[in-house]
């Protein structure tokens, strides 16, 4: 996963310390601190040089160090699909002169990520085409993720102060004297899943320009996580991608476990795999069902939702909650699964395929559906990578990138499953890929079920996991550990880690920085939706207004994850 030695050497040769590139040793992935003047050249070289071939910018985020001279770090995470290696770049800037050259010209994925850093930290990006607030509303004052910002300080938005694209007021007339029309889709629109807003300019029914506005569900996950202990964050992660809550918890726990150097016991890992894959199925069911619903096919959703309801039932039996389960703990799981778990999963394995078959029979070969979706919302592989796409959307464009294969975790390398891809990259392909992923996930669950052996479900490291209850009630030492863990939170060693897993929508990353305290110094979530959705306005151009709904549904934008 990290760069090979000779590649690193050639990088060091090309950018020696004399040019302002300083290596930070001892990190999970090779990390270099870069002077901001060098950034454009460095970025261009890293992308175009076949030795490095960092075609994908997976994440940009900021970190605030108030006591430092250069107060902010802008952190870039790069990924190369061909070499399967990663690189982290840090660009320090001071508060007075917080300007960094934008890398939007190199990777288009930087578009929204840079806007987010600007919104949250006030770091400006010179050369960015549309640098304005993205998550917070326009009347917001200050920058929320700075350490000196009071987390409870709210600013109210007045009616009429909402943001509008600069071009929304321009009225254009073409030769036929047809006025172009500006239309506002969302945020409260049945097909925008509640909280997405797209402003489109129409020529007749054809979209000529579009701009998205997000942040309608910005729930301050990252600020909240700085205020809570490591285990208290688990309920918050559940609410990121609420369609598949389990996988967020697993991703977060894996990142923290990496930092701690502990591993969940085998039984917990297998249960995590089973429930994660069932969550993936649930997520795809909602995505496909909602997409079909939006384009006018109501019935399949009603059928496949039964599978979801039964998976809910299973989750409720394990964790006690249906949707937001808070079942994962750092180091393992909260409880062991109840008796009858295996039979219940086997029942699901029998139950889900017929329902998916029913849906396929209704839809897959249906000419109406195919005409609505084929050739709609096409994105080529190169473009998709450039936009930072991951997950089913990227695979539908023909790039077989799946974290479970490239950087296996939880023992995914030992499971026999295939990565579904399609080459057309349109809405229909995304539907097909998701359907096939449901089947592959079922295969994984089936194999995992065979490996489910009795054993502990949480690590016995008393610095990490709460001691078992019967010990707390009887033994003094256990009670003291229990007390310390609740009152202070676990102490995670100083350091930083980028933990990434394959969420339902793609690479779900948690960039975690610990200062050795009971709560994270900084926890940044790299939401797969965020990268996917920023390409959406550009995909719309030239399409009909009705197609925008079909495309949006196929991208599976989950607002909780998008806005955090």
Partner 1 sequence: MSEASVGKPMLPVAGKPPAGPRVSDGSNIFLTTKLDRLIDQARKNSLWPFPFGTACCAIEFMSTIMSHYDMSRFGAEVVRFSPRQSDLLIVAGTVTDKMAPVMVRIWEQMAEPKYVISMGACACTGGFYRAYHVVQGIDEFIPVDVYVPGCPPTPEALLQGLLRLQEMIAAGETHYQRMVAAARAKAKGAVS
Partner 2 sequence: MRNTDVVVCDPKPLRFWQRFYLVEVLKGLGVTLRHFLGNLFGRKYTVTVEWPEVKREYSDRLRGRHVLLTREDGSPRCVACYMCETACPADCIHIEAEEDPTSTVEWEKRPKVFNIDLLRCVFCGLCVDACPKEAIIMTRHHEMAFTGREEAVATIDTLLQKGPIDRIDLGYRPYYGRESRPITLPIPVRVEPAPKAPRPDLAATP
**Interface residue with partner 1, options 148, 150, 173, 175 (CB under 8 A):** 150
Query: Considering only residues 58-97, where is the footprint of partner 1 by CB under 8 A?
Result: none
CB–CB of 136/129 below 8 Å? no
* Binding flag, residue 477, partner 2 (CB under 8 A): no
- Work out what residue 560 binds among partner 2, partner 1, none; the CB cut-off runs from 5 to 8 Å by kind: partner 1
Answer whether 298's CB lies under 8 Å from 444's CB. Answer: no
> H/E element holding 237?
helix 233-238
Cβ at position 143, least distance to partner 1 in Å: 11
Please, are residues 249 and 237 in contact by the beta-carbon 8 Å criterion?
Answer: yes
Of residues 189 and 538, the one with the C-beta less far from partner 1: 189
Under 8 Å between Cβ of 561 and 529: yes
Task: Enumerate residues 491-550 that contact partner 2 by CB under 8 A.
Answer: none
CB of 402 to partner 2, least distance (A): 8
Nearest alpha carbon to residue 226 among 493, 500, 515: 515
Q: Which of partner 2, partner 1, none does 70 bind, CB closer than 5 to 8 A by kind?
A: none
CA–CA separation, 394 vs 387, rounded Å?
10
Q: Among residues 421 and 492, whose Cβ is nearest to partner 2?
A: 421
Using CB under 8 A as the binding rule, whether residue 156 contacts partner 1 is answered as yes
Binds partner 2 by CB under 8 A, chosen from 52, 54, 216, 428:
428
Nearer to partner 1, 410 or 558 (CB): 558
Window 191-250: residues binding partner 2 (CB under 8 A): 228, 231-236
Per-residue contact string for residues 200-239; x = within reach of partner 1 by CB under 8 A: ---------------xxxxxx--xx--x-------xx--x
406 binds partner 2 (CB under 8 A): yes
Rounded CA-CA distance 523/391 in Å is 22
474 binds partner 1 (CB under 8 A): no
242 binds partner 1, rule: CB under 8 A = yes
> Coil, strand or helix: which one is 22?
strand
- Per the CB < 8 A criterion, the answer to whether 218 and 230 are in contact is no
**Cis? peptide before 372, omega within 30° of 0:** no
End-to-end CA distance of the chain: 28
CB atoms within 10 A of CB 510: 27
Q: Does 146 bind partner 1 (CB under 8 A)?
A: no
**Residue 255: which H helix or E strand, with range?**
helix 245-260
- In the complex, what is the shortest distance from the CB of residue 396 to partner 2, in angstroms, rounded to a whole number? 9
CA 505 to chain centre: 7
- Pairwise CA distance, residues 238 & 225, whole Å: 13
Interactions with partner 2, residue window 283-302 (CB under 8 A): 299
85-93 vs 99-101, strand pairing mode = unpaired
Residue 473 touches partner 2, criterion: CB under 8 A: yes
Give the integer Cα–Cα distance in Å for 431 and 438. 11
Of the two residues 106 and 233, which places its CB atom closer to partner 2 in the complex? 233
Point out which span in 11-19, 36-44, 54-62, 368-376 binds partner 2 (CB under 8 A). 368-376
Q: Which of 15, 72, 76, 140 binds partner 1 (CB under 8 A)?
A: 140
Closest distance to partner 2 from the beta carbon of 477 (Å): 13
Q: Does 136 bind partner 1 (CB under 8 A)?
A: yes
The Cα–Cα gap between 552 and 39 comes to 34
E-state strands within 2-136: 21-24, 31-34, 56-64, 72-80, 85-93, 99-101, 124-126
Our finding on whether 344 is near partner 1 (CB under 8 A) is: no
* Strands of 427-549, DSSP E: 495-503, 506-514, 522-526
In the complex, least distance from residue 196 CB atom to partner 2, rounded to whole angstroms: 24
Binder among 94, 130, 139, 313 for partner 2 (CB under 8 A): 313
Residue 309 contacts partner 2 per CB under 8 A: yes
The strand pairing partners of 524, in sequence order, are 511
Q: Could you say whether residue 446 binds partner 2 (CB under 8 A)? A: no
DSSP 276-311: HHHHHHHHHHHHHHHHHHHHT--HHHHHHHHHHHHH
Residue 487 interacts, among partner 1, partner 2, none and using kind-specific CB cut-offs from 5 to 8 Å, with partner 2
- Residues 305-324, one symbol each (x = binds partner 1 by CB under 8 A, - = not), give xx-xx--x---------xxx
Angle in degrees, CA 470, 473, 478, rounded to 5 = 85
Closer CB to partner 1, residue 89 or residue 278?
278
**Contacting residues toward partner 1, per CB under 8 A:** 135-137, 139-141, 144, 149-160, 162, 187-190, 193-195, 215-220, 223-224, 227, 235-236, 239, 242-243, 286, 301-302, 305-306, 308-309, 312, 322-324, 559-560
């Amino acid at each position: 996963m990290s760069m090979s030695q000779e590649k690193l050497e050639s990088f060091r040769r090309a950018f020696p310390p004399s040019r302002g590139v300083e290596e930070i040793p001892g990190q999970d992935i090779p990390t270099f601190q870069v002077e901001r003047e060098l950034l454009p050249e460095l970025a261009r070289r890293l992308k175009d040089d076949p030795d490095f071939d960092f075609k994908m910018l997976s994440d940009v985020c900021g970190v605030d160090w108030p006591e430092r001279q250069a107060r902010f770090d802008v952190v870039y995470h790069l990924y190369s699909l061909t070499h399967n290696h990663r690189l982290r770049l840090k660009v320090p800037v001071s508060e007075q002169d917080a300007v960094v050259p934008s890398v939007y010209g190199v990777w288009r994925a930087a578009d929204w990520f840079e806007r987010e850093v600007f919104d949250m930290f006030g770091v400006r990006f010179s050369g960015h085409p549309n640098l304005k607030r993205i998550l917070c509303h326009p009347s917001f004052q200050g920058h929320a993720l700075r350490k000196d910002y009071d987390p409870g300080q709210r600013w109210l938005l007045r009616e009429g102060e909402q943001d509008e694209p600069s071009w929304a007021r321009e009225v254009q007339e073409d030769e036929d004297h047809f006025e172009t029309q500006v239309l506002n889709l969302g945020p409260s629109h049945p097909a925008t899943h509640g909280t997405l807003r797209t402003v489109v300019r129409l020529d007749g029914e054809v979209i000529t320009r579009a701009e998205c506005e997000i942040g309608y569900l910005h729930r301050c996950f990252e600020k909240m996580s700085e205020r809570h202990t490591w285990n208290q964050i688990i309920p918050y992660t559940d609410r990121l991608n609420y369609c598949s809550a389990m996988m967020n918890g697993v991703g977060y726990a894996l990142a923290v476990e990496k930092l701690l150097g502990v591993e969940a016991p085998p039984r917990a890992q297998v249960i995590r795999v089973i429930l994660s894959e069932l969550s993936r199925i649930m997520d795809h069911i909602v995505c496909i069902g909602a997409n079909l619903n939006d384009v006018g096919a109501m019935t399949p959703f009603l059928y496949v939702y039964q599978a979801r309801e039964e998976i809910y039932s299973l989750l409720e039996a394990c964790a006690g909650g249906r949707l937001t389960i808070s079942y994962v703990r750092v180091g393992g799981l909260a409880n062991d699964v109840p008796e009858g778990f295996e039979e219940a999963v086997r029942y699901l394995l029998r139950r889900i395929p017929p329902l998916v078959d029913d849906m396929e029979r209704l839809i897959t070969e249906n000419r109406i559906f195919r005409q609505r979706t084929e050739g709609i919302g096409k994105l080529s592989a190169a473009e998709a990578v450039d936009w930072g796409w991951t997950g089913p959307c990227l695979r539908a464009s023909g790039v077989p990138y799946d974290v479970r294969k490239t950087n296996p975790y939880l023992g995914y390398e030992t499971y026999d499953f295939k990565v579904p891809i399609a080459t057309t990259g349109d809405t229909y392909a995304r539907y097909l890929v998701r359907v096939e992923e449901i089947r592959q996930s079922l295969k994984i669950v089936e194999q995992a079920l065979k490996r489910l052996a009795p054993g502990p479900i949480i690590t016995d490291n008393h610095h990490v996991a709460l001691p078992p209850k019967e010990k707390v009630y009887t033994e003094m030492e256990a009670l003291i550990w229990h007390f310390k863990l609740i009152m202070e939170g676990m102490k995670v060693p100083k350091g930083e880690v980028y933990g990434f897993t394959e969420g339902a929508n793609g690479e779900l990353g948690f960039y975690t920085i610990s200062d050795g305290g009971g709560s994270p110094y900084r926890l940044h979530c790299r939401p797969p939706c965020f990268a996917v959705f920023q390409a959406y306005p550009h995909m719309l151009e030239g399409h009909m207004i009705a197609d925008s709904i079909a495309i949006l549904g196929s991208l599976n934008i989950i607002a909780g994850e998008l806005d955090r």
